[in-house]
Structures are given as C-alpha cells and as structure tokens.
Amino acid sequence: MDLQLKDKVAVVTGGSVGIGLAIARGLAAEGVHVVLCARDGARLAAVTAQIKTDFGVRAEAVTADVATVAGTEAVAAAVAGFGGADILINNAGTGSEETILDAPDERWNAYWELHVMAAVRLARALAPGMKTRGGGVILHNASICATQPLGYEPIYNVTKAALVMFSKCLANELIGDGIRVNAVNPGLVMTPDWQKTAKLLTEGTGQGWEQYLQKIADDNAPIGRFADPAEIANLFVFLCSPKASYCVGSTYYIDGGWLNVIK
C-alpha cells in the first residue's frame, strides 16, 4: 500500500531509542524526511546517520531536552531548515515510581513539563507552519495508563491522561485547518526502559530478566507477550497517512488486549 507520505517532513521527539526510533524508521521507510530529537547526543547522531544510510532521506539530529523551552525552540529552529513540518510525533516521555503523598512538587512539575508542556509548546511552534503547507498530522504517544493506571506511577498516569485530553482539545481546534490530531495508548512494549528495570529487579534473585517480563505479559496481556516497538510504530505511520484521513480527535489503544474496559 502506498501511504502517500514520500517527501513529507516529520519531527519525532524521543527519537533515538524505543518507540520513537521505530516510528522514525517507519516513516523514513515511506520516504519521509525526519528531524529527530533526544537528549543523548551520541546515540542520536548514530541512529540518525543509520536512517540516512538505510533509507536515503534527509535526517537531522537535534540534541535537546523538550521538557524545556530552549529544547522546543531548538527543534523549531531545525524544522525551519526544512521549510516546515508536515508531521509532529510527540513521543518523548518516561515512566515514574513514587507515591502521591511522598512525591515533591518538583517531581510533578518535571513530568508535567515533559509529557504535557513539551507537546503544547511544539504544537504552538509547528502548527502555524503546517497550516501554510496545507495541513498536517500531530500524534501523541500517551499510554494505556492514561485510562488504566498502574499503582506505582501516579505522576505518569496523571500526566499521560492530561496529554490525551490535550490531544482531543487540540484536535478540535486545528481540524478546520486540515491538521489531524490523535493520541495512541500503547500497552506493554519491549523498550530499553523495561529491560533495565527488569534487570535491576532480578539481579541476584536467580530469576532471569526475560522470565520476569514474561510473567508481566502473562499476567496482563491476553496476547501473552510484549509488543515490539515496530508494531506500535506501524500504527503511528498509518495515522500519519492520508489513508487515515477520517481519524480525528481519537485515542487508539494498541495493547494486546490488556485494557479491561470497552472503549
């Protein structure tokens, strides 16, 4: 299927690893030029160079923290070099672990800036250019935890829920300008973060980290496994395409059956 994305320009935050990198590679495979943003400059430079080699598209690395005003401004400046962007993937984010009664304001604020304000600032920066280009797509990588919270990460749950609501409000505001906005709520995805956590928790226990994660999948996902990041990326790439032209203001779950309610 031709997804009609060739020569579009996409911004992917958190683009050096995991779901973000898989999305960037999926878009590049369709002929999309990409601007990747992440904090780890060395890793980002390496994956950006590999994308150029593998797909022959333009690819630029922006080493920045989008949880800051300066970081979002750096992304916007890079996009200007492409003449604007057609696609924005707000993917940057990370899990948390705390209790509500013990977490200080600073921790709440840090996650709010990363999961919500980064998306707000990038929308303000890039949507006007999308309008002049005739439209565009903005996608937010949220989480199943926005609806079905995990008890050990209340700040993550709350800020991802806020991101989903922001996505809906932004969709209503921008659809008249031909900009489609949607959110995606993944479930269990085999990312380096999950692997790192599993290795720490199983160190010295005699249990392998792979077995630990398999137990999580068995207990929660009827499909019985974690998703590969590329499986999540496939949905994002489709939603970027004109083939998804009637997809507006929605939240799409891709969770292997984990969600326990009808949505």
- The Cα–Cα gap between 242 and 263 comes to 24
- The Cα–Cα gap between 73 and 68 comes to 9
- The Cα–Cα gap between 113 and 93 comes to 10
User: With pLDDT > 90 as the criterion, what percentage of the chain qualifies?
Assistant: 95
Question: Is residue 200 very low, low, confident or very high in pLDDT (cuts 50, 70, 90)?
Answer: confident
CB distance 125 to 167 below 8 Å: no
Cβ atoms within 10 Å of 152's Cβ, excluding its own: 12
User: Which pLDDT value is given to residue 255?
Assistant: 98
- The Cα–Cα gap between 206 and 178 comes to 55
User: Which pLDDT value is given to residue 234?
Assistant: 98
User: Which pLDDT value is given to residue 263?
Assistant: 75
Q: Which domains does the chain have, with CATH numbers?
A: 9-187+233-253 (3.40.50.720), 192-226 (no CATH)
Mean pLDDT, residues 65-76: 98
Three-state DSSP at 191 gives coil
Question: What does the chain come to in residues?
Answer: 263
DSSP conformational letter for 82: T
- The Cα–Cα gap between 79 and 81 comes to 5
Question: 126: closest CA among 85, 68, 167?
Answer: 85
pTM for the whole structure:
0.97
> Which residues lie closer than 8 Å to 203 by C-beta, 6 or more apart?
none
Question: 248: closest CA among 187, 178, 185, 186?
Answer: 178
Active-site annotation, residues: 156
Mean residue pLDDT across the chain: 97
Q: Could you tell me which residue, 200 or 190, shows the higher pLDDT?
A: 190
Mean pLDDT, residues 105-131: 98
Tokens in use for 211? 């077995």
**231-256 per-position pLDDT tens digit:** 999 999 999 999 999 999 999 999 99
User: What amino acid is encoded at 67 in this protein?
Assistant: A
What angle, 0 to 180 degrees and rounded to 10, lies between the N-to-C axes of helices 105-112 and 154-174?
A: 40
Tell me: pLDDT of 216 over 90.
Answer: yes
